[in-house]
Chains A and B, each alone.
Chain A
Amino acid sequence: MSMSNASEKPTGLIFFPAFDWAISPTHPEREERLLYTRDQIFEEGIMDLPQVSEYTPVLATTHDIAMTHFCVPRVEDQVTEAHLIAAGAAILLADEIVSGQIKNGFALVRPPGHHSMRVVHGNRGFCNINNEAIMVNYLRRRKGIKRVAIIDSDVHHGDGTQDIFWHDPDVLFISFHQDGRTIFPGTGFTNELGGPGAYARTINIPLPPGATDESLLYIVDNLILPVLSDFKPDFIVNSAGQDNHFTDPLGSMRFTAQGYARLTEKLRPDLAVLEGGYAIETALPYVNMGIILALAGLDYSAVLEPDYQKFRESADLAGQVRRMVDQLLQRWAKRDQVSISQSDMTGNYFQHTKRIYYDTDNIQENQLEKLRLCDNCPGYLSIETKANHGYGQTGGKALCLSIPIDACASCRTEAADLYEKAKKARTYSYVYLQDKSADLFLGYDTANGKEWRSEGS
């Protein structure tokens, strides 16, 4: 094969199908998942193209994980090597992009991660840790990247990513997905807009089942791109779930490989990271090809599924999507004029309770989340968490304290004091302090009085 613009940097690709990892022998998140994608991209000779540069992944460190997640009791209890490789792949490509080695990248890896929240008691929606969030926090801590936009194009609401960046005004999270009333995880409605300090930095676009490329591209052109152009991110991430495909067994949408490729071309993400997608034969080989070619700036017009057709949308559905886009644009326009409901306030703290269900592991978690409202920084966050692991097995409470990257001295001091007090109080089985401003993590096991720490090197 010949070609093209030699001055253009290549697209970085990490293909890590984890052919020796599955959640359980017959689970959809299985060894075979990327097998036909492998066959397709190898047969197409994608790795030989001068526009594509293949990388081999490295493992993320437990510290990288701990700077995003509070894994209970410890990181090592919640992740396997496969998870460290998937997160490490995203980090490696992000590093290469920031240092200018590649123009953009695609971590075509499993296991996925976008349902993993800040606190991790087990596997939710096939996810243990959030690859994109870990990578974004790495870039912000270590590479001086400030503003990041994450666009989640999985058919399921990216509730984990939403949870992690809910209070973060510098991370814009946009998720479009099948309406939560009809699919897991049952969230992602238009009124979920982010915490008091980050209003409308979370935007959800629940789509009616049956939506096609037409609606997809409408929301990209009329909502996502205008919002991105206002937000001016330093780095754009695409959580590239592929289950909006018309053949997906879990979703009910009708996107095609062409639609996904066009989305990629318009969005111009710096880094795409694979999320879900379980039509492993009829969708994944084609959608992944489309995304790779679009990232590399190559002609993808011939990437067509065997039963490809141009789906038509009802006028009703299209109208519904248009109205939702208008409504969300208005919210976006008023993003800096939010007033917090007084019922959520306790003194200087914004607080609310959450119930989180882990479908894969059948865990029910209860959280009390408190954000310090601070004039000088986004404020530190404290989360009291308790998980019921089913069958009457109940873990103890844990306290998680998270200090944001641009925290003020007073928030840092207050959180640190709280951590020391909680260690002594013995109310919690585990106490954690995640200080992103100092790239430092502390954990404390009350039962044996042992503390552990990790720092960025």
Chain B
Amino acid sequence: MFVGVDVGGTYTDAVLLDHEAVRATAKIPTRADLLESVLEALDIVLKDVDNKDLKRIVISTTVITNLIAGRKYDKVALLLIPGPGLSHRYYDFKTKTIILTGAIDYRGREIVPLNEKEIVAALSELAAEGYKKVGVAGKFSPRNSAHEKQVAAIIQEKYPDWQVELGFRAGPQLNFPRRAATTYLTCATREPYRNFVNSVRQALEKRKISAEVFILKADGGTMPLDKSVEQPVETIFSGPAASTLGVQALTPPDETEVVVDIGGTTTDIALILNGQPLLSAKGARVNEQLTQVHTLAVRSVPVGGDSLLELAGDEIVFRPERLGPAYCMGGPAPTPTDALRVLGLTALGEEAKAEVAMEKLGAPLGLSAAETAGRVIDLIADSITAEVEKMFLEWEQEPAYRIWELLQKRKVRPSIVAGVGGGADGLIPQIAAKLGCDPVIPPYAPVANAVGAAVARPTLQVSLRADTEQGYYQIREEGFQGKIDKRSFNEQKALALAREKLLERAADYGLAVTPDEIEVTYREVFNMIRGWDTSGRLYDFTVQTPRGITCRIEKGGK
């Protein structure tokens, strides 16, 4: 049996899965202490279960989101090695930043060496200011991490108690500013996150739960609890991923769907294209900083069931703030929930109060309660629909760098609008109608997020880059370099090497992966031509364990 737990801002949800069926669900208000919320929800769904039958627990939490939003971490300094390029004055990481001499180029060659004296001076400066946590990030460090490692070695020697994070691990993609920001966040959150992980482990031990525990990432994959400490920031924004995987598990396979999660004051929208959740082409934006954190493509609209409605001139508008619950539920002001109530699209609250709210709102415009409610629903559905259209447009317009990629671009239209979260289900048919789709409220919609967590599976990847002209290969995730024979190395060997490294990594993570499950998700091969001759080849491969969900949920399990 599997358990999925999703700790959201307002509610913590949990489900217990037995094969393809939901056996128990829980929905409790999220407490100030996240761990307490997790345990409370767990206890509810595990009430009648022998802990020995429990195979796996997957937790999606807002722990990192809360740490970062509340700046609940020690101060972190950045040592950057940008070398030539964009002027350094555009770098603003909102923290103490020192620029070091040194440069690596796109092929990983050192073009400017480090200056040890300068590094030592920079460290004294940080020490004097009381820093004990340092992120070190260099331009092109994923192509050659030597500079970052050298700086780390100097810190280790002079200040052995400092915490150092390196850019090539935290941000292995090509994007230096995002690498620096991601390294900063990794450095800031690792220690408090580790404390969280430890307390989860202790609490589970106390309950004699020995199931494997995984943490959900923003891209919908999971990491073993212990290993999640390596990339704590990857666990941010896992909530929308949980909901989306939930819809994937609760609706027919291979559909193109819009996932709409309408909450109190925000609506999250995600896309499932031909059965696969759409990933954001670039990393997440965290606290106004762009990062390399992989995430699903999610858009938030500042509107929900409890949004404040008012008049602006002779138009009804919604405000992003929440004054309280809906008027029909004893709140102070009219909300979209009141409109739904008047039109009979929800059973929440008192009908008479909802009528009053809509009448008051529409009276200056000479509208009846029903007419006002109709306008409100139209307005909300329109603004959500517009965001959905933007998402599809953005996806279609994502840059392509190869002819075949550009030519195969085609319009994909959704066929289903799936509503989850249970906040304002009444709106889903209206949104679906505007998009020409079928509305679907899947079974277990109020806890679809917890279902998503339960069915999420671990993903691991390995990126190999080989440069036969320079005679080396490199595993990006590990900063590992090895020699290759320029003549005999070829595409098959490159792929075999990448697969072998992935299997090693999987073993280290305790994951059972068979070689034929491995997917090649990125493949780039370039002949290097120098003066009308081929002087070498560049290979860039990413292989990964399969993405997706462990199972679909059959209806009527409970």
Partner pick for B139 among A43, A48, A293, A300, CB 8 A cutoff: A43
A299 touches B90 (CB 8 A): yes
Of A26, A42, A57, which is within 8 A of B534 by CB?
Answer: A26
B105 adjacent to chain A (CB < 8 Å):
yes
How many chain A residues sit at the interface, stated as a range, is 35 or more
Q: Mark B366-401, 1 if CB is under 8 A from A, else 0.
A: 000000000000000000000000000000011111
* Residue of B90, B111, B403, B534 touching A1 (CB-CB under 8 A): B90
CB-CB contacts below 8 Å: A390-438 with B: none
Is B282 touching A48 in the complex (CB atoms < 8 A)?
yes
Q: Nearest B residue to A308 by beta-carbon distance?
A: B84
A85 to B532, CA, bound (A): 26
Find B177's partner among A17, A21, A45 (CB 8 Å cutoff).
Answer: A45
Chain B, 76-124, CB within 8 A of any chain A CB: 84-92, 103, 105-107, 111-112
Chain A residues numbered 25-69 whose CB sits less than 8 Å from any CB in chain B: 25-28, 30-32, 35-36, 38-40, 42-46, 48-49, 54-57, 59
Chain B positions within 8 Å of A285 at CB level: 106
Q: Is B490 in the interface zone, CB < 8 Å from A?
A: no
Q: Which of A20, A45, A300 lies in contact with B403, CB distance below 8 A?
A: A20
Query: 14 new A-B pairs (CB below 8 Å) besides A35-B538, A43-B85?
Result: A3-B90, A16-B401, A20-B402, A32-B529, A36-B106, A36-B107, A42-B175, A43-B139, A48-B290, A54-B399, A81-B407, A286-B84, A293-B86, A302-B84
B176, A44: Cβ atoms closer than 8 Å: yes
Out of B87, B106, B399, name the residue touching A302 (CB < 8 Å). B87
B533: A residues at CB distance < 8 A: 26
Can you list the 4 inter-chain pairs with the closest CB atoms, starting with the nearest? A299-B87, A39-B106, A2-B92, A45-B177
Interface residues of B in 379-431 (CB under 8 A from A): 397-404, 406-407
Identify which of A26, A43, A81, A298 contacts B176 (C-beta below 8 A).
A43
The residues of A that contact B538 with a CB separation of less than 8 Å are 32, 35
Interface residue A18 (Cβ < 8 Å from any Cβ of B): yes
- The chain B residues found within 8 Å of chain A, CB to CB, are 84-92, 103, 105-107, 111-112, 139-140, 174-178, 282, 290, 397-404, 406-407, 524, 526-529, 531-534, 538
Q: How far is the CA of A404 from the CA of B122 in the complex (A)?
A: 66
Quick one: which of B85, B402, B403 contacts A303, CB cutoff 8 A? B85
Q: How far is the CA of A44 from the CA of B290 in the complex (A)?
A: 13
- Is there contact, CB below 8 Å, between B174 and A32? no
A25 to B537: give the CA distance in the assembly, Å.
13
Chain B residues positioned under 8 Å from A46 (CB to CB): 86
A26 engages B84 (CB within 8 Å): no
Query: With contacts A44-B176, A299-B90, A302-B84 known, is A56 near B404, CB below 8 A?
Result: no
Contact of A45 among B92, B175, B400, B527 (CB under 8 A): B175
**Which residues of the partner chain B approach A32 to less than 8 Å between Cβ atoms?**
526-529, 538
Tell me the bound Cα distance from A27 to B178 in angstroms: 36
Interface centre among A1, A46, A289, A299 (most CB of B within 10 A): A1
Establish whether residues A40 and B90, one from each chain, have CB atoms under 8 Å apart when the complex forms. Answer: no
Q: Which residues of B contact A30 (CB under 8 A)?
A: 527, 529
**Chain A CB within 10 A, most for which of B90, B111, B531:** B90
Q: Is the interface of A mostly helix, strand, loop or mixed?
A: loop
What would be 24 A-B contacts, judged by CB atoms less than 8 Å apart? A18-B401, A18-B403, A20-B402, A25-B534, A27-B529, A28-B532, A30-B527, A38-B401, A42-B175, A44-B85, A44-B86, A44-B176, A45-B177, A48-B178, A48-B290, A56-B397, A56-B406, A57-B406, A59-B406, A81-B407, A285-B106, A298-B86, A302-B86, A303-B84
Q: Name the distance in Å between A305's Cβ and chain B's nearest Cβ.
A: 8
Closest B residue to A29 by beta carbon equals: B529
Tell me the bound Cα distance from A260 to B235 in angstroms: 44
| Shortest Cβ distance from residue B429 to the other chain A in the assembled complex, whole angstroms | 34
Interface flags, A73-98, vs B, CB<8A=1, else 0: 00000000110010000000000000
Whether the pair B84, A31 counts as a contact (CB closer than 8 A) is no
Chain B residues in 8 Å Cβ range of A48: 175, 177-178, 282, 290
Shortest CB-to-CB span from A304 to chain B, Å, is 5
Q: Decide if B107 touches A281 in the complex (CB within 8 Å).
A: yes
Per-residue CB contact flags for chain A residues 340-378 toward chain B (1 = under 8 Å, else 0) read 000000000000000000000000000000000000000
Contact A298 B90 (CB under 8 A): yes
* Residues of chain B lying within 8 A (CB to CB) of residue A289: 85-86
Contact status B89-A299, CB under 8 Å:
yes
**Do the beta carbons of B178 and A306 come within 8 Å of each other?**
no
- Is A126 engaged at the interface, CB distance under 8 Å to the other chain? no
Complex contact B85–A40 (CB within 8 A)? yes
* A82 to chain B: closest residue by CB: B403
- With A and B bound together, what is the CA distance between A283 and B92 in angstroms? 28
Q: Which one of A27, A40, A49, A56 lies within 8 Å of B400 (CB-CB)?
A: A56
A116 and B219 alpha carbons, distance in the complex (Å)? 47
Residues from chain A with a CB closer than 8 A to the CB of B178 are 45, 48
How near does chain A come to B478, taking the closest CB pair, in angstroms? Answer: 20
A255 interface residue per 8 A CB criterion: no
Which of these, B87, B397, B398, B529, contacts A26 with CB under 8 Å?
A: B529
B138 → chain A, closest Cβ, in Å?
Answer: 10
Name, among B103, B404, B406, B528, the residue most crowded by chain A CB atoms within 10 Å (CB to CB).
B406
A19 within 8 A of B: yes
The reply to whether A25 and B282 contact each other, CB–CB distance below 8 Å, is: no
Cβ of A15 under 8 Å from chain B: yes
Shortest Cβ distance from residue A261 to the other chain B in the assembled complex, whole angstroms:
12
- Report which of A19, A26, A281, A304 forms a contact with B402, defined as CB distance below 8 A: A19
* Residues of A with C-beta under 8 A to B174: 39, 42-43
B residues within 8 A CB of A42?
Answer: 174-175
Inside 8 A of B532's CB, which chain A residues have their CB? 26-28
